[in-house]
Amino acid sequence: MTVRLESPFWQAVCLSAGLLGSVIGLQVIAGEPDPKSPYLRDPDSEAKTAAAMKPYVQQIRDTDVKFEMLPIPGGEFVMGSPDDEADRNEDEGPQHKVKIDPFWIGKTEVTWDEYDTWRLSLDGQRRKLTGREKDEVDAKTDAVTRATKEYTDMTFGMGHDGFPAIGMTQVAAKMYCEWLSAKTGQYYRLPTEAEWEYACRAGTKTPYSFGTDAEKIDDYAWYYENSEDAYHKVGEKKPNPWGLYDMHGNVSEWVLDRYDPQFYATLPKDAAAVFPVCLPNGQEYPRVARGGSWQDDPETLRSAARIASTPDWKIQDPQLPRSIWYLTDGDMVGFRVVRPLTPPTTEEIQKFILYPDIPEDLKERYARELKNRAAQE
């Protein structure tokens, strides 16, 4: 069955019923993009108010690659886990209220099909093959730094087409978002840790978005016991109540935040925190990933569980300094994108370090890569 959620009324109905977007056999239909526009935007991606937000499909220019975005309503929720939650970790508290503004979020994790369009410059290659002349949008996207060539198969033999992209650093994920923003003319970024948990919970207060019974996890997630030691194509398990797939398991997902086990204790106790984000401090580690992966036990897949990155995620990297872009041992981490209804100002991008922040110990290497790239062009 295929539906088109045209009316804000029906969007509200679907939200309350837990059927927003493409869930339980439903598919989002893309509107026809303006053929004269270089951005190929689905008309449903345009909204000025939360009530006007709709699911949409974005095609990446010069390719046949598409991805779906689902609207998430703004609201308040309690972040973190209660003291009596089974398998709880200390860094999941204290619980605190957070106010979330409306945003769209990827229905699935970013796939290799999407990620390699940026990473391998496939968009530019295909533009040249078709003979299309370079325009202003191409100039902007080409100006965004691309990852260097990988030194090993980053799929680790687990699959490419339709599978989640993995093994990228947080900087690489943020650079992809910068490229995608230039490519589409709409602002994309990683979710904050609070936005991610809000979307994962989808209005629930239980350890998992499907309830408290971990025995049901096979229906919703790829994890240690059912993954057969590999990730799987996105969207094969049941979605959460807001239509999002693989929020539990398959691959962990980068968020914007630096990991601080005491960060929650710094937030207001008597009011809802507004856009809380633990800002980077110039160091690469630790940063936060969420959701757990195909390698993890169920407790790591809980909605409140936090994962801190470590240098071990690059332990087999033979280079010194080690890669800006790749995690040789990060075959369990990927990401999904969000798009806030209200794009940030230039000042907010700087204040909250929403741009790709190069760690201090990698800045010299990054400058050398840029110099080498310029010499080759």
- pLDDT, tens only, 89-136: 999 999 999 999 999 999 999 999 999 999 999 999 999 999 999 999
Write the CATH number for 227: 3.90.1580.10
For residue 113, tell me if it sits in a domain.
yes
> Which domain range does residue 282 map to?
57-376
For residue 86, tell me if it sits in a domain.
yes
For residue 283, tell me if it sits in a domain.
yes
For residue 239, tell me if it sits in a domain.
yes
In the chain, the largest separation of any two C-alpha atoms, in whole Å, equals 62
pTM beyond 0.75: yes
For every residue of 240-300, DSSP letters joined together read -TTS--SSSSSSEEEEEEEP-TTGGGGS-SSS-EES------S--S-EEEES--TTS-GGG
For residue 161, tell me if it sits in a domain.
yes
In this structure, are strands 306-308 and 287-290 parallel, antiparallel, or unpaired? Answer: antiparallel
Q: Give the model's pLDDT for residue 29.
A: 63
For residue 31, tell me if it sits in a domain.
no
Alpha carbons 267 and 263: distance in angstroms, whole number: 7
For residue 18, tell me if it sits in a domain.
no
Q: Give the model's pLDDT for residue 120.
A: 96
For residue 16, tell me if it sits in a domain.
no
Query: Which residues of the chain are modeled with pLDDT < 70?
Result: 1-30
Kindly tell me the number of DSSP H helices and DSSP E strands found in the chain: 8, 13
If phi > 0 it is left, if psi is from -120 to 50 it is alpha, else beta; for residue 156 that is: left
Alpha carbons 94 and 209: distance in angstroms, whole number: 20
Number of C-beta neighbours around residue 238 at 10 A: 16
Q: Domain total for the chain?
A: 1
